[in-house]
Structure 1
Amino acid sequence: MYYTNEAHTIDTDQNACRHEIELKERTAMETALITEYRAGVVECLHSGHIAVVDDTGALAAWAGDPSHLAFTRSSAKPLQLIPSIMAGVHTHYGLTEQELAVMVSSHRGEPEHQAVLAALMMKLGVEEERLVCAPSYPLDRRSRDQLLLNGAGMRRLYHNCSGKHLGMLASCSLQQFPMEGYEDPSHPLQQQVLNSMASMSGLTVEQISVGIDGCGLPVFALPLQSLAAAYVKLACPDLISDPGMKAAVQVITSAMTRHPYMVGGRNRLDTLLMEDDNIIAKGGFKGIFCFGLKKERLGIVLKVLDGSEEEWAWITESILEQLGSGSRPMLEKLRQTYTRKLLNDGGQQVGHVETVFTLQR
């Protein structure tokens, strides 16, 4: 018994050393993306990685390490809906495009979102208590404050992932899968999702690491380049060989681009980008943001390593400029909405932001 414990200790120490070496190697490959200045002094430096993939699946441009392993978080939501659409959820329940868009959303719980979600829940016949996402208040401050003024409590429906959960429960009902435990990675619906993730990203299921997301559902870790490959297919469904999957992606992305407000909300980057029908976009928690360009046939993923999303718009604007993509109106809208001036609480400019990366080809 003593020798077994000693061996285990040695193995543990070796694993720790190996992980430390891997972390140092990965950190060495990161690149500075954004620098924030206050009074001419660097106050913050945000580093990370970028991967740009073309319609052949090849790496077209990058910054840092395009093979960096990252969790998809909510950027996977359009991919997670594919099996449910392939099963016919949208036709069986007569779903509107707004209802489909909220199923892939990280909504802010604004009144428009609340109305669509309530109608969707009633149409699906799903009890709110079945959702495994935790009761919460809306992420949108105005909406939350109004609910508090009215004396309303937290609800699962206000959780920013509630649309995804409603869609999965509806799919379970339609496919006669158990609704209990729908969040378990071994559940048949989650296995369908994992297979869709693998197919869209060009990986095998064994190459995808599975964890648990903040809302309780499975979340996937894969190389940025592979996630970008999936976003090329979202932007260009003609690249998908499976007819059922191709049709499902067309349904999902059409709903997203026709109703971008449902996907995010007021002043959200993915919503703003999809006001241009050339772009399909979805952000995720902890600094990951993905978008696909239809005309250019490119998939782009960026990861801010400190987990911040405040820098997404500046990085995205620079990526579009460096690639020679993005319409002039869209670039101008990005500049106006996400100013590079840093303002204090009184609106006084106290600093500025600079993008400091150059895409490699």
Structure 2
Amino acid sequence: MDKPFAYVTRGGIAESVHAGVIAVVSSDGKLVGEFGDSTLVTFARSACKPLQAIPVVESGAMASYGFDEADLALFCASHSSELQHTERVERILEKIGLDESYLQCGPHMPHSMETYDRLIQAGKSLSSLYSNCSGKHSGMLAYSKHVGADIHTYHQVNHPLQQAILEVVAELTEVQKQDIVLGVDGCGIPVHALPVRNWAKAYAKFAHPDAFVHGDAMRQISSAMRAYPQLVGGTDRFDTDLMTATHGRILAKGGAEGFMMVAIPEQSVGIAMKVRDGNARVIPPVVIRTLTTLGALSNDELEALQKYVAPEVKNTRDEVVGEIVADFELSLT
């Protein structure tokens, strides 16, 4: 049975209730905390991007094209299409001798309304550049061009890059390739479904990478994301703000349909969580409550993240009419 872990109030009552699953796994592979059934098989969606970036790093494309840590952070991003994101994607593509027409992610309305307003005022159409996944796709193009693989089909499951990513996911999650369910993400890239606790196991390895296969690449990716959190998400994005408030002590990456993963290097643990109905609005308070239970946030950090502890629900008049509240007890072993 699904277990509720957050609710949304209006007029003093719980108007909506959201069930979910949480797994906390140590870097030695032990399940040390759980809420709900962490054997639930689900997609990590964009929270998998740090894993998807590993073959790009290991291919040698970083050095070959002169990419830096900021570029690597953008390879792992679900960005808001602010200028800091789109201009860097354009520079990445320029370095590899391609343009945005090679991006296979497709366009969508950007998260940043400032960007969208600017496009409308300029009379421009949306392109794949403004996809929140254009950073990931630019990294995948860099890999493909560097190793001599087809740059037009890098998004297809049988492409060498996607097969390399499948190998990485299987190794780090410790799930056999044949047991990983494949789907297609919103941006056209293959996505992988496996138990929540195994996703947490992979992120636990990012918390303590040197002891594991792909350790050097994981260390570089974790360092880049924590050094450039604004490139991973953007303004008023929870994973960005969590990494910023903790000064890079914590690694965080959200995914669509209410999925998120966190790594805490100081505690050598990884956390994965899924909102069962896919509504990501409850992720911030659930993450904050989980981290507080684990003693992973200082008072100053908690204060900096206060707006996420019980986010306000507002109406169209900007009046506070309710709040989003995490309400669960994490079972620790």
Smaller-chain TM-score bracket: over 0.9
Counterpart in the other structure of 1:165: 137
Confirm or deny: 8 A CA contact 1:237 1:249 kept in the other structure: yes
1:6-46 per-position Cα deviation (integer Å, ceiling 9, x unaligned): xxxxxxxxxxxxxxxxxxxxxx1x21111112112221101
Q: Which amino acid aligns with 2:215?
A: K
Q: Which of 294, 299, 315 is equivalent to 2:286?
A: 315
Distance 1:285 1:216 in 2: 14
Alpha-carbon distance, 1:173 to partner: 1.1
Which structure's CA Rg is the greater one?
A: 1
SS in 2 for 1:274: helix
Distance 1:177 1:43 in 2: 51
Q: Among the aligned pairs, what percent are the same residue?
A: 36
Does residue 328 in structure 1 map to residue 299 in structure 2?
yes
Does residue 71 in structure 1 map to residue 61 in structure 2?
no
Q: Which of 275, 289, 294 is equivalent to 1:304?
A: 275
Does residue 263 in structure 1 map to residue 232 in structure 2?
yes
SS in 2 for 1:295: helix
Distance 1:134 1:338 in 2: 34
Distance 2:127 2:115 in 1: 13
Counterpart in the other structure of 1:285: 256
Alpha-carbon distance, 1:339 to partner: 4.4
Q: Which amino acid aligns with 1:278?
A: R
Counterpart in the other structure of 2:241: 272
Confirm or deny: 8 A CA contact 2:313 2:323 kept in the other structure: yes
Question: TM-score normalised to the size of structure 1?
Answer: 0.88
1:255-299 per-position Cα deviation (integer Å, ceiling 9, x unaligned): 111100000001111111112221111100000011000101110
What does residue range 1-361 of structure 1 map to in structure 2 within 5 Å? 28=1, 30-240=2-212, 242=213, 245-275=214-244, 276=246, 277-336=248-307, 339-361=310-332
Distance 1:246 1:150 in 2: 45
Confirm or deny: 8 A CA contact 2:154 2:162 kept in the other structure: yes
Alpha-carbon distance, 1:338 to partner: 5.5
Distance 2:257 2:87 in 1: 28
Question: TM-score normalised to the size of structure 2?
Answer: 0.96
User: RMSD in angstroms over aligned alpha carbons?
Assistant: 1.3
- Greater mean alpha carbon deviation, residues 74-83 or residues 347-356: 347-356
1:228-267 per-position Cα deviation (integer Å, ceiling 9, x unaligned): 0110111211231x3xx11111111111111000000011
SS in 2 for 1:151: coil
Q: Which amino acid aligns with 2:182?
A: V
Alpha-carbon distance, 1:329 to partner: 2.1
Q: Which amino acid aligns with 2:331?
A: Q
SS in 2 for 1:121: helix
User: What residue ranges of structure 1 are gaps of 5+ in the alignment?
Assistant: 1-27
Confirm or deny: 8 A CA contact 1:97 1:255 kept in the other structure: yes
Confirm or deny: 8 A CA contact 2:73 2:229 kept in the other structure: yes
1:48-87 per-position Cα deviation (integer Å, ceiling 9, x unaligned): 1111101211110111111111101100000001011011
Confirm or deny: 8 A CA contact 2:204 2:263 kept in the other structure: yes
- Greater mean alpha carbon deviation, residues 202-211 or residues 189-198: 202-211
Confirm or deny: 8 A CA contact 1:279 1:294 kept in the other structure: yes
Confirm or deny: 8 A CA contact 2:105 2:131 kept in the other structure: yes
Confirm or deny: 8 A CA contact 1:137 1:153 kept in the other structure: no
Distance 1:155 1:166 in 2: 14
Confirm or deny: 8 A CA contact 1:273 1:281 kept in the other structure: yes
Distance 1:94 1:352 in 2: 46
Confirm or deny: 8 A CA contact 1:313 1:334 kept in the other structure: no
Alpha-carbon distance, 1:341 to partner: 3.2
Distance 1:137 1:310 in 2: 19
Alpha-carbon distance, 1:337 to partner: 5.0
Alpha-carbon distance, 1:161 to partner: 0.6
Alpha-carbon distance, 1:202 to partner: 1.4
